[in-house]
Homo-oligomer: A and B are copies of this chain.
Amino acid sequence: MSYELPVLRALIDHFKRMPGIGEKTARRLAFAILYTDREEVEDFAKVLLRVKERIGFCSICGNLAESDTCRICNDPRRESGVVCIVERPADIYFFEKIGNFRGRYHVLHGLLSPLDGVGAGDLNIENLEARIEREGIEEVILATSTSVEGDTTALYISEILKGTGVRITRLARGIPMGSTLEYINGNTLAKAFETREEI
């Protein structure tokens, strides 16, 4: 006979399905809910549902949006000539936190990954080609991650856009600021040598 209450077990299992949460952490979070005020938990449940109901993707760039288009696409102060291409809406947050990029974004919602069955048709690429003409975009900055999938996707997009005459750039690769050489991997070091700058 197990003495575990089924409803508590169900809550632990929900937490366990989240990324990076194992049995122990899930159990800790479920017990925390037991000791949380009823009102607070009711609000938590409401917010969970509201996030699913209200948040969709921007029809222009694919960012998170509460209406048809997102807050960045709706902001007339953002430069319309430059588009930064990212993998996920979460990436936009990191760039906005730094705040030096004043252009617009385009979210692919994934990276090309033939092994996982993700092809170009599964990504938000067609929309991008339409945007370049419509918005008179002059520069596309590829900001996909520096993994095999990220590089493959960047290469694919740059091939597609070759004919459009748009300037295609990608984020610089090199040694992270403030880092010690001994902790940097060989690929990064080799790349930093290759693209060394005059001082």
Whether, in the assembled complex, A101 has its beta carbon less than 8 Å from a beta carbon of chain B, the answer is: no
| Dominant SS among interface residues on chain A | helix
Contacts A64-B5, A66-B5, A75-B1: A51 and B28 contacting too (C-beta < 8 A)?
no
Interface string of A18-42 (1 = CB under 8 A from B): 1111000101111111101010111
Shortest Cβ distance from A21 into chain B, in angstroms? Answer: 8
Docked pose: A20 CA to B27 CA in angstroms = 12
Specify which of B8, B10, B27 is in contact with A64 (CB 8 Å cutoff): B8
Docked pose: A90 CA to B34 CA in angstroms = 11
> Would you call A14 and B75 a contact (CB within 8 A)?
no
Chain A interface size, under 10 / 10 to 19 / 20 to 34 / 35 or more: 35 or more
Contacts A3-B72, A3-B96: A42 and B47 contacting too (C-beta < 8 A)?
no
**Copies of this chain, count:** 2
Interface string of A70-99 (1 = CB under 8 A from B): 111001000000000000111011001000
Shortest Cβ distance from A101 into chain B, in angstroms? Answer: 12
Which B residues are CB-close (under 8 A) to A25?
Answer: 20
Specify which of B17, B36, B55 is in contact with A8 (CB 8 Å cutoff): B55
Which B residues are CB-close (under 8 A) to A7?
Answer: 47, 50-51, 54-55, 66
Docked pose: A192 CA to B101 CA in angstroms = 62
Nearest-CB residue, chain B, relative to A74? B3
Nearest-CB residue, chain B, relative to A39? B52
Contacts A3-B71, A5-B66, A64-B34: A90 and B49 contacting too (C-beta < 8 A)?
no
> Would you call A48 and B54 a contact (CB within 8 A)?
no
9 residue pairs bridging A and B, Cβ less than 8 Å apart:
A5-B71, A7-B66, A8-B51, A11-B48, A21-B29, A34-B89, A42-B49, A42-B52, A45-B45
